[in-house]
Amino acid sequence: MTLRSLVGVRNVPRTLELLARVKILAAMTVGFEEAVGYGQVGGLANMFAQLLYKELNLQNKDIVDVFNMLNKETVFRLDAYSAWKGLVRDEGGKGKAFYLVGRECPVRQILYQEGLPPGRLLCNFMCAFLEKIFSEKLGGKYKVSLARYGPNACLLRVAIISGSPPPENFISISEEPSVEEYANKLLEMYDVMIRAVTDALYKLLGNNPAMGYRIGKTYGIHDGEHTLAEIGITVGLESAVEYFNEYHRRLVELELDKDILNVRTSLIHNIVDNIGLEHSAAVYRVVQGYIAGVLSALTGKNIDVRAVDEEARKLKLYVR
At 7, the pLDDT band (50, 70, 90 cuts) reads: very low
- Is residue 166 located within the same domain as residue 55? yes
**Side-chain-side CA neighbours of residue 303 (13 Å):** 30
Burial class (CB in 10 A: 0-12, 13-18, 19+), 47: buried
- Is residue 181 located within the same domain as residue 280? no
Overall number of domains in the chain: 2
At 37, the pLDDT band (50, 70, 90 cuts) reads: low
pLDDT tens for 90-133 read 888 889 999 999 988 889 889 988 988 888 888 999 999 999 99
- Is residue 51 located within the same domain as residue 131? yes
Decide if 257 contacts 301 (C-beta within 8 A): no
User: What's CA 43's distance to the chain center, in Å?
Assistant: 16
- Is residue 36 located within the same domain as residue 139? yes
User: Is 262 among the domain residues?
Assistant: yes
pLDDT tens for 59-84 read 999 999 999 999 999 999 999 987 77
Query: 32: domain range?
Result: 3-190
pLDDT tens for 266-278 read 998 888 888 888 8
Domain boundary among 126, 159, 190: 190
